[in-house]
Structure 1
């Protein structure tokens, strides 16, 4: 069985008429994650959200009959191997024009250099540029020294290799990175119509994979103006392959200089980033400059840098004056960042499935003291799903009260929230409180606690400084505490004027307030927060990440004056000063410390 990465078999492709019977396909992969090979230089992390695609532009002057020098490219390849783990380099793409005159003797020089990558089991692709073959013909040109060196036979041993066109000049590769698979098309200098059809079929056979196109000619740029533009052939590539295939989000080419880039909308209305990289016009034939595309799915960014490992590795004392200027290119054309919301960009062909709602009964774990969800209509009562009877009653002040909302955090069990209008001086809107006799009012949590909530702060431009999310009526003085400000609430989970998360409480074992601080939260964006105390220390978490400013001083329990808890408001000296502004999805209180893997967001 010749099953491909996403379950599409060669038999199905042939039955659909999308592949020629002569198409070259790689052997079956045992597992998709085998696309990440290992080397003694280090192991790549295929699940980490940050990974690197290395790009090698035209190297032709390094292999030019009896001229040239392979040392720069040797250094670049060895550096990629050495940095493989540190930079999480998952794949390397050459953009064509490996050699200068398409001669067998030149490919004989280049062959052992690329063998460096082969021996390290470092996956890569190569494509033919106009200097590698008879440039007057398209990819139906037949045999050539290039094809004998960089044809399908070279790549079949790589687990990333997916297959080639029957003529052998075009190939596709699938690698795993950031927890998913990516497809790279390595297309010839002049693909035939049949090869474009093959490329479209490959994309159709992998309908959920984002695609990177590597080819030799696509866009050009002029000196003094890095804004790239299509060549006549580039327009053909766009029309036949890129425009109608939304999966292609990044296209790379060499051939021309100086470098340039542009962005163009495809037929689906989405951005395609088009980049030209070539350094053969620079010192020492480009010094085997490489482009590093650092994908960061956590930051929704691709950071691009351009370096010469060959020059970087030279002794500074012996480095020539010209070499000094080529270690790294830092102008805006060669060092830049691309903001790209990957989930949004890819949702047209691979939407992230909505996490199913989970019933409240699944989240009531042992030790749950209270669990409130806001996935129903706004009423006067919010049920405590813990079964402990700590129901909430709505208190309406002047102004607009809470409203039901269909918005929710993507990891939230309940698929809804309430939107609180907020307001202060005087307090306006509405909040919720436990009953005077609620069991929660007297609890002291000597064995620890976990308080967690899904929240989105209002982005309305109003002043909501020091708004409270969760508070306990009663002051330090009411609980017998005589610390620095006994009028402070015994418990207060709030946000400062800079939207910094604050957990300020009177513990049982201290006479003064005890405060944990978070960083500034972004208004208008959902996040999950948690306060965890193990009976000795309290730690704040945002999106399951521990924060910095957590005191090392021991702290046990929570003082109480036996008064109600407030959700969506806080107080000073038992006077409600303001109400919360933003969305609250749900909030759970547990009587012991939970690990992040046990949070509601897990």
Structure 2
């Protein structure tokens, strides 16, 4: 935050001789004290004044009137809208809150234009999502606020096609954002022949800037077009926006390994060779990061990633402001929610932070603009004097985080290992606490020697199985790949866990699947939960990579889908009928073939969480009231839930449940990599006050 300089009344007045004389007549000489002589021989009292104070007491000086110092700025602000796909699909009001906030404050913050990073919608073929996005962006249009927009992978009908390979008739993006709509923006400069790529110019602080907005998978044709735009505007500092460019790993901005959107080609062909491009902004990869790279001329290029779609409610309304202070040579970024202020306090959770005030979400990067641009624009001018205010400071005052009520986390640590709510309807409960006489790090023994008891008392113990091959497929499972640990969730009463290795085949290495399963004849093997259920799993996902760990299973029923009575679908008939797993995007996934599969049109019903943080304990609860099924992660309801499925479909003959693995076509697969603290299945819907992370009510 840039503070205003401290100015005394006299220092301001001295800038104006007449003002100083008036002050001298009214008060005392500038710089004087209470003991100074009077400024004139005029009487110290006038008719009607109160009596003179007793001798020896000075007349108190009148307080100086506050001086309203006008705010001055040497900067401008660009709002950034990261992936809005889930707002368009599930709750357009969040998207509208973002554009309405910008519209309400654009004049105050001197916003020249807004930047959208793509993935406008989640499903390009669903017209209702485009209607939702259209409503949000019309807020900007009605307020006469310019914006750039571009298609992300979710906005296209075929993610694998270059932008010049798409069939225009199959692309709703071109229908909803044609040239005739985009050119109404005052900043619009032009569009390429595909209709997916545009350029804009804006003027701020007396200087002109260029924005290139480039599509998902920009083709060689598009990259050549972008180079021509730059050549036609050779003196303009340029910001390049696109959907995919840099990603994040272990908190650091890196080049993506998959490069599905061809960010490498964009860097090599457009960004690195062109000194004009000083900033790139992209979405697509979940999270936030930034870095500074050097282009071919050795000049800095700031690269920024922002994508909040995996936060609560598809992003919690988080948007970014980027303030470019040309005198201070800084780019300051501030991320906050336009939505949460309107969310009733009773509906807020303890993670609904109205601002993300720290890096990597809010940060400042230095850039000497005049020096950076001197090679192509030697006449680029910056304000001679830095302003005494900042627009981001003004925005923070509008957000008013200090007066936002954030609920406290209601959960409390357990006093002992018995400090949890026992539920009579519990069907099975496995608490992975190392037995007496076993040390942390010791392997979980196979078969009866390492049996995990069922704390419900319903007779569903687990035993470890070490299987070295399944249907001719090698499984490189080893005894020491599943071990006891004392690590556990901070709000679990079970003070321990089992940690296991699991991976898919990769680069010639065999798969590794370590698991436990129920025994033949266990009551749980035939239970269908038609009256509702609650499935809780407390897990920690470790060392996740998509290549090795996608679709890993925490819990799976070994019934195949086509073994569920009434099955009449074609989708993955050999897959497990019930699974709780980790998706390719590290989301928690609950997928079930319901008991009423014969009468529903869906092959399965699926709940998806946000991206789970790695190396951190997470409590997952899946709660079904018999028809509607909701998932919660760390006590917070996820956005993507399901309804219409009743119970869990299983083979009436009874099939085992597995912990840490699933099956594919009857073959052992999808080994989980991480630790498991507890798993519990209950034959009714439970409220949060009865979950494993809650404490029993005190009498």
Q: TM-score, normalised by structure 2?
A: 0.42
